[in-house]
Amino acid sequence: MGVIWASGMVGIGTFYEEMKGFFAGDGTPRFNPFFIPKMISGYCRRAYFNELWIQRTQLLYRKCLCFFFPCSNRCFNFIRLGKADVIVCGGSEAAITIPGVGGFNAMKALSENNDSPKTASRPFDKGRDGFVLGEGAGAIVLEEYEHAVKEVQNLCRTCR
């Protein structure tokens, strides 16, 4: 079993809040002990995987990866190539912060179609003028077919 998780702006909100606290203080570096772990790219998927590990101690194969780009193809390939039977595949993003919006704005990467917010996001339109920053998360569990059938058969035997 494995977890593959993707994210782009890992920890930008955490970084911003910690820096605000630091600069508002007396110059003594007092940071939350989880400051660095919360910014590390794999924090979210490791926390999720650890929760799975606690719930299913019989898991033998432990594979965790984290990418900064979409990863659904990698999830499929891990199963197709026999490297895992089950993969939790997902992604999350939480970049709507002052430095997130400010940074993308400075790059001129955000859509300026502010008069019509409902049509500002047009990723495949040749007249698009940038992207709309958003937040969210999603996950899907992919399982190798034969493994899933075997698990259902085992479950049916147990229920009798």
> Full-prediction pTM beyond 0.95?
no
- Whether 34 maps to a domain, the answer reads no
Q: What is the mean pLDDT of residues 78-99?
A: 85
Residues 142 and 129 placed together within one structural domain of the fold: no
Residues 108 and 60 placed together within one structural domain of the fold: no
- Whether 16 maps to a domain, the answer reads no
Residues 80 and 153 placed together within one structural domain of the fold: yes
Residues 65 and 80 placed together within one structural domain of the fold: yes
Q: What is the mean pLDDT of residues 59-88?
A: 68
Residues 60 and 104 placed together within one structural domain of the fold: no
From CA 33, how far away is CA 128, in angstroms rounded?
A: 42
Domain count, the chain: 2
Single out the residue of 59, 50, 54 nearest to residue 84, CA to CA: 59
Residues 83 and 139 placed together within one structural domain of the fold: yes
pLDDT bucket at 86, cuts 50 / 70 / 90: confident
Residues 67 and 49 placed together within one structural domain of the fold: yes
Residue 46's domain comprises: 2-10+41-95+135-159
| Radius of gyration, CA atoms only, the chain | 21
pLDDT at 111 over 80: yes
Which tens digit of pLDDT belongs to each residue from 29-56? Answer: 888 887 877 776 555 555 555 555 444 4
